[in-house]
């Protein structure tokens, strides 16, 4: 049995290197994968407009479609750049969609899986923004938003995200935040924590508690992802082609 966990690709342009490498990676997984867990922010921005204005992502959707047709289950945890996913994921790709954390039994292990954007409870400004964007009235309103709004919303969120990232990484110790949060997760009877959002590639196993913390890094400069085979969680790095 094999499961893959990937987060924070922040795909933007089909010409970008990380976009092309992800397509290559997904193609290599066809017929070799039980479950693909997308742990948020696969796209630089996705909101489920009925008109599908994000045609730049069609190659990725087609690649995911081929995985599903070859027997792979798709589980999508919404991030802070991709939420209210819409019919393409729920109907075309038959994805299991989570708007927040979930405890999943994977290969006999209980894993607490989440994008991770709710873990840092000190980030009050972001948590307020997240609350407002995830309101049911916003989800319902997406169906009536003009498609031109997609680009405007994307620019606002992108500008805010990039401006705040360096400030946040210098202000908070993300590794310690994750390890502290793992202590809480263990109380739920979980065997591991799988998280994205922090762009921190981290794998720590505590033999005394048999608990694994897996922070997925990103599919941007790091090309890191998680893999679980026969109940063992690992942090992996994708090898880009040399030519």
How far is residue 137's CA from residue 150's CA, in Å, rounded to a whole number? Answer: 17
Render pLDDT for 8-59 as a digit per residue (tens, 0 to 9).
999 989 999 999 999 999 999 999 999 999 999 999 888 877 777 789 999 9
Residues 6+ apart with CB under 8 A from 48: 84, 85, 86, 87, 88, 89, 142
pLDDT at 172: 78
Cα–Cα distance, 78 to 96 (Å, whole number): 11
Which residue did the predictor score with more confidence, 76 or 86?
Answer: 76
* Residue 84, pLDDT score: 80
The domain made up of 2-237 has a fold known as Purple Acid Phosphatase; chain A, domain 2 (3.60.21)
Distance of alpha carbon 178 from alpha carbon 116, whole angstroms: 9
pLDDT at 187: 92
Give the pLDDT mean for 213-231. Answer: 96
> Could you count the other beta carbons within 10 Å of the beta carbon of residue 140?
10
pTM above 0.75, yes or no: yes
Beta strands at 96-98 and 73-77: parallel, antiparallel or unpaired: parallel
Q: Where are the domains of the chain?
A: 2-237
**Residue-level pLDDT at 156:** 65
What's residue 71's pLDDT? Answer: 95
Percentage of the chain beyond pLDDT 90 is 60
The lowest-confidence range among 98-107, 146-155, 176-185, 225-234 is 146-155
Q: Contact 66/103 with Cβ under 8 angstroms?
A: no
């Amino acid at each position: 049995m094999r499961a893959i966990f990937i987060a924070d690709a922040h795909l933007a342009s089909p010409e970008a290197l990380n976009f092309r490498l992800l397509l290559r990676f997904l193609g290599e997984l066809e017929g070799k994968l039980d479950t693909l867990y997308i742990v948020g922010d696969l796209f630089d921005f996705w909101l489920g407009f009925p008109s599908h204005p994000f045609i730049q992502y069609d190659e990725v959707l087609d690649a995911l479609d081929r995985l599903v047709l070859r027997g792979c289950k798709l589980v999508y945890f919404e991030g802070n750049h991709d939420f209210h996913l819409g019919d393409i994921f729920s109907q075309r790709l038959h994805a299991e969609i989570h708007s927040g954390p979930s405890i999943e039994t994977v290969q006999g292990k209980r894993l607490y899986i989440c994008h991770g954007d709710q873990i840092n409870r000190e980030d009050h400004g972001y948590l307020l923004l997240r609350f407002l964007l995830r309101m049911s009235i916003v989800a319902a309103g997406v169906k009536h938003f003009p498609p031109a709004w997609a680009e405007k919303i994307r620019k606002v969120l992108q500008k805010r995200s990039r401006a705040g990232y360096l400030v946040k990484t210098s202000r908070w110790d993300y590794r310690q935040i994750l390890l502290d949060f793992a202590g809480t997760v263990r109380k739920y009877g979980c065997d591991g924590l799988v998280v994205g959002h922090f762009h921190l590639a981290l794998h720590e196993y505590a033999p005394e508690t048999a608990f694994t913390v897996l922070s997925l890094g990103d599919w941007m400069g790091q090309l890191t992802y998680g893999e679980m085979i026969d109940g063992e969680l690992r942090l992996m790095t994708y090898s880009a082609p040399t030519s």
